[in-house]
Amino acid sequence: IQKTLNLSTLDSVKEHLGGLSLPTNSSNQEIGLIDVKKFDKILINKLIKDHSYWQTRGISPFTLEQFKGGIAENGRMKDRYVFPIFDEKGDVVGFTGRAINKNNIKWKHLGNKSNWLFPNFGFKEIQNKKTAILVESPGDALSLIELGIKNVIVLFGVSISPKIICYLLKSDVNNVKIILNNDYDNNFVGNKAAGEIKKELLSHFDNSQIEIVTPPENDLNDLLIKDKESFKNFCSENNLLN
């Protein structure tokens, strides 16, 4: 609880739990929080505001500008389109980069992604709609946001972090839609993972509140690129536009 809610001391945990007594470990020492690394915001200004890669994938400059991303010319994210990851206070706690060169691994992360909630500018939509859409990568989120669908959270993979679960509970959502890759050509990795995430969420939500949605293409961005009208129909049929 202390780590998930970012509480500084065990006393603050007790206060959160209404004074409930807590067991202590044998050495009677407080459990320290995992330090969250912060990055200098000046790194964002060094990104080249060239959105052409994503524009060829159906994403408009208007959508991309909301993410404050760009291409890194050097460093560990060299030749990647990089998105900064902000925390609730607006500090930069990480970066995720999409390779624009096919010879590189598709996605690379800097920072502890288990502490990430991304993109955070859509959280008001989640709280208003009481519906959260869980997707695998930033590319999926970009595709939804291109249609004005902002109540989305990126998992950065095929598992769900305690931080995201805590956020869903705190936001009191009554519907969670899980949309991972349709890996029909890769041992159905994303399809199976969606089922595992649903099982995990069933510890906190009713079965009727959780829905797995499988895209007809590999992922949402592939569907957008192939046919924007079909993508809109897919979102409408699965109540993503509501």
**Residues 99-147 pLDDT 10s:** 998 777 899 999 999 999 999 888 899 999 999 999 999 999 999 999 9
Preceding amide of 119 cis, omega within 30? yes
Question: Tens-digit pLDDT profile for the chain (242 aa)?
Answer: 766 666 667 777 777 676 565 555 444 444 344 556 899 999 999 999 999 999 999 999 999 999 999 999 999 999 999 999 999 899 999 999 999 987 778 999 999 999 999 998 888 999 999 999 999 999 999 999 999 999 999 999 999 999 999 999 999 999 999 999 998 877 788 899 999 999 999 999 999 999 999 999 889 999 999 999 999 999 999 999 87
Q: Residue 71: what pLDDT?
A: 97
Give the global pTM.
0.83
Q: Which amino acid is at 157?
A: G
Greatest pairwise CA separation for the chain in angstroms: 62
C-alpha 150/C-alpha 152 separation (Å) is 5
As given in the structure block, the two tokens for residue 52 are 């052409």
Give me the pLDDT at residue 18, please.
Answer: 65
Which pLDDT score is estimated for 95? 97
Residues 201 and 155: beta-carbon distance below 8 Å: no
> Which position has the token pair 């969250």?
36
Best CA proximity match to 158, nearest among 119, 106, 198: 198
DSSP collapsed to 3 states, the chain: CCCCCCCCCHHHHHHHCCCCCCCCCCCCCCCCCCCCCCECCHHHHCCECCCHHHHCCCCCHHHHHCCCCEECCCHHHCCEEEEEEECCCCCEEEEEEEECCCCCCCEEEECCHHHCCCCHHHHHHHHHHCEEEEECCHHHHHHHHHCCCCCEEECCCCCCCHHHHHHHHHCCCCEEEEECCCCCCCCCHHHHHHHHHHHHHCCCCCHHHEEECCCCCCCHHHHHHHCHHHHHHHHHHCCCCC
Do you know the residue count of the chain?
Answer: 242
Q: Distance from first CA to last CA of the chain, Å, rounded?
A: 33
